[in-house]
Amino acid sequence: MPLDDGHRVREIILNILHLSPSLQDSSLLLRMNEPDWDYLIRVAGMHRLGPILYDGIVRKNLVQLTPPRVLMALRQATRKHAVRNLALCQELVTVTRLLAGAEIPSIALKGAFLANFTYRTLGLRPMRDLDLLIPKTHAVKAFELLKKHGYRPCYEGLPEAHLDGNKIHLPPLARHNAIPIELHHRLTFPRPGGFTDDYESALWARGVSKRLGNTAIGFPCAEDMLLHLCYHATEGHQFSIGPLALVDLALLVQRHQLDWERILRRASNGWRRYLLAPLYLAKLHLGADIPDWVMEELDVEGDKSQWLESAEYLMFSELDDHMLLNDGMQKILCSKNPLERIAAFGKIVFPTRAAIATHFPARPDSAAAFLYYPRHWRRLLKKKLPSVLSRLLQQPREMEQLAAHKRAFSHWLKADTGD
């Protein structure tokens, strides 16, 4: 279903996710047809909304208005994620103990904290993987330790090559149970002026310890978790993670005592727009209990025309298309400067040695990295190019719109940081 045609379904989804105890307009459900319900199921699967949608339908007494096949699909997703989350938490305990035994500090991020300490039950907040923050000086040691205990990298790149440039985590690792683990050495991308560096360094001092079973697990404090979620949704993913980002924030605000003054002090140091967009949307669409005075402090311009349409478009767009349209592809599709488009194409076809080293076993400072160009080209031709061409041929208008919205939103974010 083209994005322009799914407005009613998106409105229904946001109404079900809203924190209020009842649906604002139950007649919306009566106007849903079979293609609408199919689209709702697809969006739920794409953005991991199945459990929280099913919970909302039950809590708001909407079961009688929902087709049985839809209830079954959402109920099955709920059961699947409950089982998977239990396995992920067991894996988190195992890895935390392993790292602690080697005197490697760790902080568990996002999903593990939210599923265990923010959502009502463990299975309501699906997790794709385990994200752990490791001090940069210990990151490669942690990577090699996990390899020694049966974890295998998901691709060939050297871990050292991910410590510099724009990389914030090492290659994912997984064991036979196929639960990916990402070892982060940063939560934010390095930027000129280092305006996120003090946030990175303070995370460890402000961290909290919570218990899973009889194991102490480190987590960011609630304020740092909110900052991390906002940054991850905007700069990290340009809202490709969908409405789940808003649910995370709305429930975090509802369940945890937050020091808004501390959060606003961070906002004054280049973070304002990272916070404004997701917090405004969480308050607007889900009724998140964010104080009005906080929103006034964040929205100093009072002009949402530069970002709101793009943010809402991005939040419900196709996840696979987001993945295809990286910065280079956005420039190729959207830039009015022919030289910029040519340069972007060249960067994709002829990446730097440092970029090659993140995917192939070559050192970033070695000329041998260039020997991997044929394998890089083969991968482009076999995986990336067919997918891009297929989508451009099938949905050219949607792909161009998505690229334009991603580019516009990214430019708006960076205008506040001076990047």
Please indicate whether residue 313 or residue 359 has the higher confidence score (pLDDT): 313
Is 94 inside a domain boundary?
A: no
**Does one domain contain both 392 and 368?**
yes
**Does one domain contain both 261 and 348?**
no
Listed in sequence order, the residues at least 6 apart from 298 whose beta carbon sits closer than 8 Å to its beta carbon are: 264, 267, 272, 275, 276, 279, 280
Q: What is the mean pLDDT of residues 371-399?
A: 86
Residue 417 banded pLDDT, cuts 50, 70, 90: low
Rounded Cα distance between 107 and 196, Å, is: 18
pTM greater than 0.85:
yes
**Does one domain contain both 311 and 353?**
no
Q: What is the mean pLDDT of residues 391-408?
A: 88
For the chain, give the percent of residues with pLDDT over 90: 66
Residue 4 banded pLDDT, cuts 50, 70, 90: low
DSSP string, 352-373: -HHHHHTTSSS-TT-GGGGGGH
SS3 call for 307: coil
Please indicate whether residue 95 or residue 335 has the higher confidence score (pLDDT): 95
Is 326 inside a domain boundary?
A: yes
pLDDT digit string, tens, across residues 317-343: 988 888 888 888 888 887 888 898 899
Choose the final residue of a domain: 288, 316, 344: 316
What is the CB neighbour count within 10 angstroms for residue 323? 11
Please indicate whether residue 278 or residue 177 has the higher confidence score (pLDDT): 278
SS3 call for 350: coil
Most confident of 150-164, 377-391, 401-415: 401-415
**Does one domain contain both 358 and 272?**
no
Is 347 inside a domain boundary?
A: yes
**Does one domain contain both 307 and 276?**
yes
Is 360 inside a domain boundary?
A: yes
Choose the final residue of a domain: 316, 344, 371: 316
Helix (H) or strand (E) holding 208: strand 208-212
Q: What are the distances in angstroms from CA 243 to CA 1, 15, 410?
A: 18, 11, 18
Choose the final residue of a domain: 268, 294, 316: 316
What's residue 1's pLDDT?
Answer: 55
Q: Hey, which bits of 123-172 come out as E strands?
A: 130-133, 152-153
pLDDT digit string, tens, across residues 154-205: 888 888 888 887 889 999 999 886 789 999 999 998 876 667 888 888 899 9
Q: Domain span at residue 331?
A: 319-415
Listed in sequence order, the residues at least 6 apart from 178 whose beta carbon sits closer than 8 Å to its beta carbon are: none
**Does one domain contain both 323 and 295?**
no
**Does one domain contain both 358 and 396?**
yes
**Does one domain contain both 311 and 331?**
no
Per-position b or e across 127-152, b if 16+ CB within 10 A of its CB:
bebbbbbbeeebbbbbbebbeeeebe
Is 133 inside a domain boundary?
A: no
Is 250 inside a domain boundary?
A: yes
**Does one domain contain both 334 and 300?**
no
Angle at Cα 360 formed by Cα 356 and Cα 362, nearest 5°?
80
Phi, psi of 370 (to 5 degrees): -65, -20
Rounded Cα distance between 269 and 271, Å, is: 6
Residue 418 banded pLDDT, cuts 50, 70, 90: very low
What's residue 194's pLDDT?
Answer: 67
**Does one domain contain both 344 and 408?**
yes
**Does one domain contain both 284 and 365?**
no
**Does one domain contain both 327 and 398?**
yes
Specify the number of domains making up the chain: 2
Is 42 inside a domain boundary?
A: no
- Compute the mean pLDDT over every residue in the chain, rounded to the nearest whole number: 91
Is 393 inside a domain boundary?
A: yes
